[in-house]
Structure 1
């Protein structure tokens, strides 16, 4: 390539120009006449040039590289459909593009990007989408938290006013600060405000006045402390390894589990056997009923057959008597003459 550059410079540049001018001109021409992708260098005149300056990349590129699959152009919608991303995410990258006439909307233009640029930025799109999703989730959580806090604050103010009205009805003078510190900020009242108690406001206030609420809170605190200790003890045993008592308990649990499984299997077998016996019995009963019905039908047919024979005999006798009596009656009849 260097030899071709030198020959091209010697042919184009004259001998009268200075060396600095020649060097700069040679650098400009060599940059313009070399494809940035495949390194193809051209030593022909511009009219027969195989190189063009790409308006998107702003670099010289040959026609073979421009028409290859590596430099395929694609729209944002097609890229979104192909790589399963959002069209807005592709536009968000602010990649260089070509403005071409839109085949669907003639009044608008269509942006075409180089596909390899979108492929290179797919990871950036994925990180951007994840950040967007996390931000939306955080905003939703903050919104729900603020809404629940607003509900609690509203209920607290209503409770404060209700207690103040109740004390004024009784005739006792008490300030809002005292009500807030004595009643509203009490842990038992906080449980009531968080909908954890199935009691009304008057009962809660009465329990706070009598001191019963403090006893309940102390008992609850002890239970919570015990649960915390159990959790810590379970974690320490998991770190140090199971003790002998734990092993014995595990063995006893396994034995109980085996017994339960055996009992379940026995129950299952007994139920299956009972079902089989019932099915066998029902089949036998059905068979007996069928045989009884068949016998009844045979008896009925046997009873019908002699009756039919008697009827046919009597009918035959009647026809015979009619035939014999007919001509005799004609002979015995007197003549009209």
Structure 2
């Protein structure tokens, strides 16, 4: 999702719903803030860039300005869902506080947010509808956990996804189910007795380095959620110890094996969405490459 999310949530107008069954006067950004260079990268990057270019085209047709958004950076929970196990990364970033602060700074200077904040309330509401649609209707999916998610099939984001993936409802269903299954998979791994057993030698290793945390969740919470931020050197020392113990104790290997096991199991349980997601991406890639090659 584009970074307007922050501004839109502040405005209280984001046109997406989920139901469970179980007047800033700052000037608009100059044209020099045109965003990232338009180059094709990996298939994932190409698809994201193409969607952004289509959103930009749609918004400009309605008389609005829009700047192509860079991909969201990979956060700590996504990169290391179970345990930090990359020692070089830990030594460079600790638990990623430096990366999060840099991303926060980029978000504050984001040209789309600056443009949004520069407009009066009435225009902001028009912008929200233009990009998200007027009401969260037209797209719906019931997730494996029983929650129903709905979204508008109108607005520039949906228009761009329809142009890119053709079957917008199938894309909406496949992506939302995939996101839900990713959360389910992490929960299954962390509750697996084999993962819990592997945490014990990790904790012993950590005690040998002077830390009494019983699991990686505790170390992460200690370093990233205190009321007073930790000094960078302290954060890096703890993250580095976690990574060394993850590798030497075998916790990293166990977590990765279980992650693969449950990923395959969930795909077998939900073959339609998994197959649709792969097919829609594959079919969209030539269109995405053509859109990127065309540029603005």
- TM-score, normalising length from structure 2? 0.18
Of structures 1 and 2, the one with the larger relative CO (CA 8 A, separation 6+) is 2
- TM-score, normalising length from structure 1? 0.17
Q: Which is higher, the Rg of structure 1 or of structure 2? A: 1
> By percentage of residues, which structure has more helix?
1
